[in-house]
Amino acid sequence: MDTGIIVRAISGTYDVKIDRRPLDADSAGSGVVVCKPRGVFRKLGITPLVGDRVTISGTTIQEVLPRRNQFIRPPVANAEVMVMVASESIPVTDTFVLDTLIAFAETNYAEPVIVINKTDIAPADELYRVYCSAGFAVVRASVVTGRGVAELSAALSGKICAFAGDTGVGKSSIINAIAGLSGADEIKLSVGDVSSKLGRGRHTTRTTQLFELGGDTMLIDAAGFAAVEEIIIPFDGLENAFREIAPYSGACRFADCRHLKEPDCAVREAVSSGAIAKSRYASYVRLMELALDREANKWK
Ligand SMILES: Nc1nc2c(ncn2[C@@H]2O[C@H](COP(=O)(O)OP(=O)(O)OP(=O)(O)O)[C@@H](O)[C@H]2O)c(=O)[nH]1
Ligand SMILES: [Mg+2]
Ligand SMILES: [Zn+2]
């Protein structure tokens, strides 16, 4: 029996990187074993994910070890940092999608780091202002000029980091740039061509894959996505999923205020005064309405 980490998933097959065993002469080479999960996983509803720690015997995954967390988009487990790549050029980031991803990370033990990429085309000052003042780590980047790459690389050092964001926003390009900086020149992910891709919804990255950069830094690249319908955040967790909203909630007139239409709502007052960004509050409201709808239809 060996233990390892899933570094790649392709249609039901998993590449497992075996933990290093210094005393074992066989540990030379790539140390990656191509595995299939045990048949019983399907019956139990267990889907192994990139980032999972597993035990294997031969080429069979025997057990998925307990997870810190699991994500649907991107499909990864055990991410300590969720790197949300956004842009105000091509493609323009939908702030509702971004806020949903952030809210999910916040309630699932992953630290959100926001990268505003393609600043050589669009500086995206407003996006930067909104997310900085909400209290997030925000890095302004450009793979073309190299801006922000060293800063981001330092912020992600030593952690398991999954990259999320729309197709074409530059996730693979950024991972290449960080890998280059770290001297891991063998990592060269293929990068899309925006002009031929847009409109056809093509993804350049098709497989979810984990790259080790040394110093325990792991970066996970995955296909981009523009929709988040399948991400569910229960309404009782929503307030805490918005870190700049949570501190106001104690000051509302009603203890169970949901900050929608209630009178004397400290959250809505903070939105009026500009202390909470309108776009962030709009995302909160939309997620709250979705959560309440789900709750009302639970037994139907
Ligand atoms: N101008 C400019 N172009 C960039 C930048 N970063 C990436 N690009 C370009 O954007 C296109 C898409 O980049 P990718 O890295 O493939 O994007 P991705 O997020 O991995 O896309 P998917 O794999 O489809 O999810 C490529 O043509 C890149 O060269 C940037 O900072 N500035
Ligand atoms: Mg990609
Ligand atoms: Zn309120």
Per-residue pLDDT tens digits for 13-57 = 999 999 966 555 455 566 899 999 999 999 999 999 999 999 999
Comparing C-alpha atoms, which of 166, 93, 167 is closest to residue 127? 93
pLDDT for the residue numbered 198: 52
- Condensed to tens digits (0 to 9), the pLDDT of residues 9-21 reads 998 899 999 996 6
Question: Could you tell me the residue ranges of all domains in the chain?
Answer: 2-64, 81-221, 235-296
Burial class (CB in 10 A: 0-12, 13-18, 19+), 230: exposed
pLDDT of residue 237: 86
Q: What is the pLDDT of residues 152-174, one digit of tens each?
A: 999 999 999 999 999 999 999 99
Task: Report the pocket of ligand 1 as residue ranges, CB < 6 Å.
Answer: 117-118, 120-121, 142-144, 165, 167-173, 191-194, 203-205, 223-224
Expressed in angstroms and rounded, the spacing between residue 236 Cα and the centre of ligand 3 is 14
pLDDT single digits (tens) 51-90: 999 999 999 999 999 999 999 999 999 999 999 999 999 8
The per-residue pLDDT for 132 is 97
Q: Which CATH number fits domain 2-64: 2.40.50.140, 2.40.420.20, 2.60.40.10, 2.60.40.3950?
A: 2.40.50.140
Q: What is the pLDDT of residue 97?
A: 95
C-alpha 208 – ligand 2 centre gap (Å): 10
Q: For a pocket test of ligand 1, which of 89, 116, 143, 173 has the largest count of ligand atoms closer than 8 A to its C-beta?
A: 173
The CATH code of domain 235-296 reads 1.10.40.50
Tokens 């699932």 found at: 108
Token pair for 42: 């399907």
Which CATH class name applies to 81-221?
alpha beta
Predicted confidence band of residue 128 (pLDDT cuts 50, 70, 90): very high
